Amino acid sequence: MSKRYPGAEAFAVEELDFEVPAGEICVLVGPSGCGKTTALRMVNRTVEMTSGDISIGGNSIREGDPAQLRREIGYVIQQIGLFPHRTIAENIGTVPTLLNWEKDRVRARSAELLELIGLDPEYGDRYPSQLSGGQQQRVGVARALAADPPVMLMDEPFGAIDPINRSRLQNEFLRLQAELRKTVLFVTHDVDEAIKMGDRVAVLKKGGRLAQFASPTGLLMEPADDFVEDFVGADRALKRLALMRVRDVDLWTAPLAQAGDPCEPVRTAVAAAEVPHALLVDNESRPLGWLSRRDLAGESVPENADSTADPLIDADSVLRDGLATLLQSGSLYAPVVDPRGRLTGVLSVEIVSDFLSSREASESELSAAERPHD
């Protein structure tokens, strides 16, 4: 598809061509003015393309009525765009009302969506100005989801939100998406957001030309050219840490001991181990603390260790968060636990630094690894 605005000399979007598998999030990312919004708006025909075609499920969007098309595609924009004089419930019910749903059905759907986005039902009677920015943004998402459209367009949906709330909204949306499996075109100018949110990422250059279309891993591992490499940034090695979960790397093993065990074999194990301390665990393998040399000086392992096992790292977290936990606590290594609190291994700063420096090894691991937001 291409777009040249009336009177403009250059194309805003030029021969942009890619395919988005149903049920995936495709992120369009690129510098300001490169044509992201234009590309997105051509999909629901709020901007008419100059040439080319777009098909959804095999049908050209040129056929049929644009107003009808817009009702079938959810649309979330940065400025939220809630109607200020309508209640939250009425805002969420906008498209269902246009589709002539029964009043009761519209109300029930609004209530259901409020719950889905984690807002109390009483918010339905409030007006947009009575909500925080993050809450309004959630309502914007709920409104786009109201008629359950298979396709969603999201134009910098979290762009106006502070970083902490943005990260929360991103996680919430990924959780929703794991259930709803919408086909989503998501625009951002933030590479980190693109890597986090996208199953695939389309990097655009000025003039709406496609610089690269790849998975987040592909983008970080093999940027197509200097433009993409610059855009992804010098810290792309660090960004790769967000693609990998702690459970997917080779963790260290620590010698284990339970209260009452004889000390002698534990002392021998410590002398030979990767981790220079033994870990006291309960009979369900939950870490209780690190045993010091003094703890192990006697006949049998004591009930309490010299130091606690904190911090514990969640095996499901991404490597970047695991490293952050280590750095914040000032530890060189820490126990990794599964959702039931049982030890799965030990993560060390050295493991992370080896991961960063061994490009080849990490490439094969990464291609085998699942996306972090499954």
Ligand X SMILES: Nc1ncnc2c1ncn2[C@@H]1O[C@H](COP(=O)(O)OP(=O)(O)OP(=O)(O)O)[C@@H](O)[C@H]1O
* Residue 224 buriedness (CB in 10 A; 0-12 / 13-18 / 19+): middle
Q: How far is the CB of 33 from ligand X (least distance, A)?
A: 4
Q: What are phi and psi of 137, to 5 degrees?
A: -65, -40
> Measured from the CB atom, is 109 or 200 closer to ligand X?
200
Which residues of this chain interact with Mg ion, rule CB under 5 A?
A: 37
The closest of 185, 87, 95, 182 to 146, measured between CA atoms, is 95
189 makes contact, choosing from Mg ion, ligand X, none, with CB < 5 to 8 Å by partner type, with: ligand X
Q: How far is the CB of 32 from Mg ion (least distance, A)?
A: 7
> Measured from the CB atom, is 12 or 219 closer to ligand X?
12
272 makes contact, choosing from ligand X, Mg ion, none, with CB < 5 to 8 Å by partner type, with: none
Contact 278, 291 (CB under 8 A): yes
> Measured from the CB atom, is 10 or 327 closer to ligand X?
10
Q: How far is the CB of 32 from ligand X (least distance, A)?
A: 3
Sign of the CA dihedral running 207, 212, 214, 215:
negative
Contact 276, 293 (CB under 8 A): no
> Measured from the CB atom, is 155 or 295 closer to ligand X?
155
Q: How far is the CB of 197 from ligand X (least distance, A)?
A: 16
Q: How far is the CB of 17 from ligand X (least distance, A)?
A: 17
146 makes contact, choosing from ligand X, Mg ion, none, with CB < 5 to 8 Å by partner type, with: none
- What is the distance, to the nearest Å, from the Cα of residue 107 to the centroid of all Cα atoms in its chain? 31
Q: How far is the CB of 154 from Mg ion (least distance, A)?
A: 12
Helix (H) or strand (E) segment spanning residue 289? strand 287-291
> Measured from the CB atom, is 37 or 317 closer to Mg ion?
37
Q: How far is the CB of 82 from ligand X (least distance, A)?
A: 20
End-to-end CA distance of the chain: 31
The closest of 159, 12, 1, 146 to 73, measured between CA atoms, is 146
Contact 151, 182 (CB under 8 A): yes
Q: How far is the CB of 107 from ligand X (least distance, A)?
A: 35
Distance CA 199, CA 192 (A): 13
Which residues of this chain interact with ligand X, rule CB under 6 A?
A: 5, 8, 12, 32-38, 189
> Measured from the CB atom, is 49 or 113 closer to Mg ion?
49
Q: Cα torsion at 202, 35, 46, 72 (round to 10°)?
A: 10
> Measured from the CB atom, is 28 or 146 closer to Mg ion?
28
240 makes contact, choosing from Mg ion, ligand X, none, with CB < 5 to 8 Å by partner type, with: none
Using CB positions, name the residue nearest to Mg ion.
Answer: 37
> Measured from the CB atom, is 34 or 73 closer to ligand X?
34
Q: How far is the CB of 20 from ligand X (least distance, A)?
A: 18
* Residue 84 buriedness (CB in 10 A; 0-12 / 13-18 / 19+): exposed
Residue listed under structure tokens 């609190």: 341
Identify the three-state secondary structure at position 149.
coil
Q: What are phi and psi of 34, to 5 degrees?
A: -85, 0
Q: What is the token pair recorded at 267?
A: 């002392």
- What is the distance, to the nearest Å, from the Cα of residue 188 to the centroid of all Cα atoms in its chain? 13
Distance CA 186, CA 39 (A): 11
> Measured from the CB atom, is 154 or 366 closer to Mg ion?
154
